[in-house]
Amino acid sequence: MRADGVRQRYWKQTKRKKTVEASGRYEFSGKGKDLYKAVVKALKIVPKGLVTLSAEKFVEQPEQYGCPGEWIDREIES
Domain boundary assignment for the chain:
25-66
pLDDT score, position 76: 53
Contacts 24+ apart (CB under 8 A), 45-50: 45/69, 46/22, 46/70, 46/71, 48/22, 48/24, 49/23, 49/24, 50/24, 50/25
Strands 50-54 and 25-29: parallel
Stretches where the chain sits below pLDDT 70 are 1, 14-20, 74-78
Contacts of 27 (CB under 8 A, 6+ apart): 50, 51, 52, 53
